[in-house]
A and B are shown apart, each in its own frame.
Chain A
Amino acid sequence: MSAPPETRNARASAKVDGDTLEVSLAGSWQITEPRPSWPELLGPQNPARVRLRTDEVGVWDTSLLLFLSAAQEWCRGTGAYCDVTALPEKIRTLLAQLTAAHETAVPFDRSENFLTTVGLATQDTLQKGREISHFVGECVLSTVRLVRSPRKFRWRDCLDEMQQCGAMALPIVSLVSLLVGVTLAYTGAIVLRQYGGDIYIADLIGLSMVREMGAVMTAVVLAGRTGAAFAATLANMKANEEIDALEVLGIPAVQFLVLPRLLALAVMMPLLALYANALGIFGGLAVAYGLLSIPGTAFWAEMLTIVDLSDIATGVIKALAFGLIVGLSGCLRGLQAERSAAGVGRAATSAVVTALLFIIVADAIFAVLFNALGI
């Protein structure tokens, strides 16, 4: 038994009558089902008139309109006359609405040529550079203002942030620096044992932890932990209009929100780096004792022959700079965030990326600088 016509699939047939193409549609036209395509039905024909009929159409929805609209578009493009008088009133009205929607759509060309793209990218980079220098400048000026009137500084917020970015970060910093010390010791032992220089493992661990790894690893951990948190907090505040509320009251956001965070990181980073140095050296000492049978006292004595206060100061200075970089990146990205949930996420990601980039750049600059100064 064949199904009634209206429940069968959408069908379209075309019959040529003089210079007119008679297009008859039939069956059930539903957007979730396959439907005939106008170009396939038309083939190579080029009629002067097209008459559209839907007498045998059963159930229909937008699917039918899309087909009819494609036929109309073709007629408009080729100059053929499109006869829709045989269509029911309802379909004609909807078709007119669809055509009107096409005509009133505001063209928005997102494609850009190479020069425009380069120009826009350059403008964007310059703008970002301006924003960073403006932000850093504002931080410096706010610091000067605060030094003059320290009563205005939000010490309570600063202490809270110190706890958050310092004390609360101890477990992760401990683990990372201990493992860095262990890894360095294992890697160093492979080479040093070949030349009978086992004892120099102490120099390797001591110097690399104190001058480099302690500060860098702590900065990397804090960039991911604290920098992202700063950015997310400030971006969220921006989305909730809290930053606007500060501005309307004439309270600079930098002074109120940024400086307590910057000071907290500037204080805690060097302390955490010193702590990381100790843990890393302890990790190396444990491996030296277990793997190379070097007694702790010998390790310590050897390490002190090469590590002096200037090395420790080097690490502390780096840690201070890295702390400021993490804080500035987090706060800058937070304040620049878009006012949306996605903006908060992007600000956090961007803060981490910016901080890591500038930490590496600053570390390279420090390396050159300390080498030139002979430190």
Chain B
Amino acid sequence: MTDTLTSNPAPAIEVAGLECGYGGKPVLKNISFTVGRGEIFFIIGGSGCGKSTLLRHMVGLHTPTAGTVKFLGQSFTLADTAARRGMLKTFGMLFQSGALWSSLTLRRNVGLPLEEYTTLSRREIDEIAGLKLGQVGLGGFEDYYPAEISGGMKKRAGLARALALDPAIVFFDEPSAGLDPVTSRKLDELIRQIRETFGTTIVVVSHELASIFDLADRVIMLDRAEQGIIAEGRPRDLLANSRDPRVSEFLRRGDKPL
């Protein structure tokens, strides 16, 4: 990961003119932004504004109708199947529900990406999986099945799986959703720790103000009516300086701007 970073000065993510939609109906238009390496970047906005849609189009779960997404300088949207598969190794994703494979233990869940992309032996894979689970505070739960652990633990296990291949970028889709404030805060701390330890670029989709102000280096705010970005910058700067009432209202937790 470090080699790639030093040899390639391009930003971690470049999104240019992205247009997202479902069934021919546009949800987002002309989305352009960049995310620097090692940055914690939040995509924020009210419910239904297209935050998760943008994320799903960025990681290739849906095909954008226009525009490009580049990871570490390489176009992901225009890449052929083989190149795209290679690029998938550069990022990990934590889904809203954790999305652990229910028929596999946590160890196997975390180990599966390693089985797919490496030639490591089973013993080595198990060792790495144990290490990753330990990093997210799930040491000792390696042989548990997803149904046997709590929601917060599922998210942490999902994060361990996302980190299995030591990706340069990790995407989080609503990491705090369904978690109590204490567990949510612990997850935030974990995200910060990952960035500080590995220099990982973090992209988070969220509308949790506490996480946004606590973690985000920079945010973009999406708006449903606008079908695009209405603000970009540091959250505290936006709170202090934004003249857009939609931004101030959102960042003040629904209070009308003064």
Interface residues, chain A, with chain B CB atoms under 8 Å away:
152, 157, 237, 240-242, 244-251
Partner of A249, one of B96, B100, B113: B113
CA distance A341 to B166 in the complex (A): 35
Stretch in B67-75, B85-93, B208-216, B230-238 touching the partner: B85-93
CA distance A241 to B116 in the complex (A): 19
Given A249-B112, A249-B113, A250-B89: A241 touches B96 (CB 8 Å cut-off): yes
Note all chain B residues with C-beta closer than 8 A to A241. Answer: 95-97, 99
Chain A residue with Cβ nearest B108: A156
Interface positions, chain B 88-121, Cβ under 8 Å from A, are: 88-89, 91-93, 95-97, 99-103, 112-113, 116-117
Q: Please, what's the 1-or-0 string for B54-67, where 1 marks a CB less than 8 Å from any CB in chain A?
A: 00100111000000
B57 to chain A, nearest CB (A): 12
Chain A residue with Cβ nearest B158: A245
Note all chain A residues with C-beta closer than 8 A to B102. Answer: 237, 240, 242
A63 to chain B, nearest CB (A): 33
16 residue pairs of the A-B complex, CB under 8 angstroms, read A152-B116, A237-B101, A240-B102, A241-B99, A242-B99, A242-B100, A242-B102, A244-B56, A245-B158, A247-B61, A249-B112, A249-B116, A250-B84, A250-B89, A251-B112, A251-B116
Asked whether B99 lies within 8 Å of A250 as measured between CB atoms, the reply is no
Given A240-B102, A242-B100, A244-B99, 14 extra CB contacts under 8 A = A157-B103, A237-B102, A241-B95, A242-B99, A242-B101, A242-B102, A245-B95, A245-B99, A248-B61, A248-B88, A250-B88, A250-B89, A250-B117, A251-B113
Interface residues, chain B, with chain A CB atoms under 8 Å away:
56, 59-61, 84-85, 88-89, 91-93, 95-97, 99-103, 112-113, 116-117, 158, 161
4 A-B pairs closest in CB distance: A250-B88, A241-B99, A245-B99, A241-B95
Asked whether A248 lies within 8 Å of B101 as measured between CB atoms, the reply is no
Note all chain B residues with C-beta closer than 8 A to A237. Answer: 101-102
Asked whether B101 lies within 8 Å of A250 as measured between CB atoms, the reply is no
Chain A residue with Cβ nearest B85: A250
Asked whether A240 lies within 8 Å of B99 as measured between CB atoms, the reply is yes
Chain B CB within 10 Å, residue with most, of A246, A248, A251: A248
Chain A residue with Cβ nearest B161: A245
B167 to chain A, nearest CB (A): 10
Note all chain A residues with C-beta closer than 8 A to B100. Answer: 242, 245
Asked whether B60 lies within 8 Å of A240 as measured between CB atoms, the reply is no
A208 to chain B, nearest CB (A): 40
CA distance A244 to B60 in the complex (A): 10
Asked whether A244 lies within 8 Å of B116 as measured between CB atoms, the reply is no
Note all chain B residues with C-beta closer than 8 A to A157. Answer: 103
Note all chain A residues with C-beta closer than 8 A to B95. Answer: 241, 244-245
A253 to chain B, nearest CB (A): 11
Asked whether B93 lies within 8 Å of A245 as measured between CB atoms, the reply is yes
Note all chain B residues with C-beta closer than 8 A to A250. Answer: 84-85, 88-89, 116-117
A22 to chain B, nearest CB (A): 42
Chain A CB within 10 Å, residue with most, of B56, B60, B99: B99
CA distance A251 to B108 in the complex (A): 14
Asked whether A248 lies within 8 Å of B93 as measured between CB atoms, the reply is yes
A361 to chain B, nearest CB (A): 31
CA distance A157 to B103 in the complex (A): 9
CA distance A157 to B102 in the complex (A): 13
Chain A residue with Cβ nearest B94: A245
CA distance A143 to B92 in the complex (A): 27
Chain A residue with Cβ nearest B93: A248
Chain A residue with Cβ nearest B56: A244
CA distance A218 to B100 in the complex (A): 34
B178 to chain A, nearest CB (A): 13
Note all chain A residues with C-beta closer than 8 A to B85. Answer: 250
A334 to chain B, nearest CB (A): 14
Asked whether A244 lies within 8 Å of B61 as measured between CB atoms, the reply is yes
B152 to chain A, nearest CB (A): 17
CA distance A246 to B112 in the complex (A): 10
A257 to chain B, nearest CB (A): 9
Note all chain A residues with C-beta closer than 8 A to B59. Answer: 248
CA distance A237 to B113 in the complex (A): 18
Asked whether B103 lies within 8 Å of A248 as measured between CB atoms, the reply is no
Partner of A245, one of B89, B91, B101, B103: B101
CA distance A286 to B61 in the complex (A): 58
CA distance A138 to B158 in the complex (A): 28
Note all chain A residues with C-beta closer than 8 A to B103. Answer: 157
Chain B residue with Cβ nearest A160: B103
Note all chain B residues with C-beta closer than 8 A to A240. Answer: 97, 99, 102
CA distance A206 to B59 in the complex (A): 57
Note all chain B residues with C-beta closer than 8 A to A248. Answer: 59-61, 88, 91-93
Note all chain A residues with C-beta closer than 8 A to B56. Answer: 244
Note all chain A residues with C-beta closer than 8 A to B89. Answer: 250
Note all chain B residues with C-beta closer than 8 A to A152. Answer: 116
Note all chain B residues with C-beta closer than 8 A to A246. Answer: 101
Note all chain A residues with C-beta closer than 8 A to B158. Answer: 245
Note all chain A residues with C-beta closer than 8 A to B96. Answer: 241
Chain B residue with Cβ nearest A252: B85
CA distance A257 to B113 in the complex (A): 15
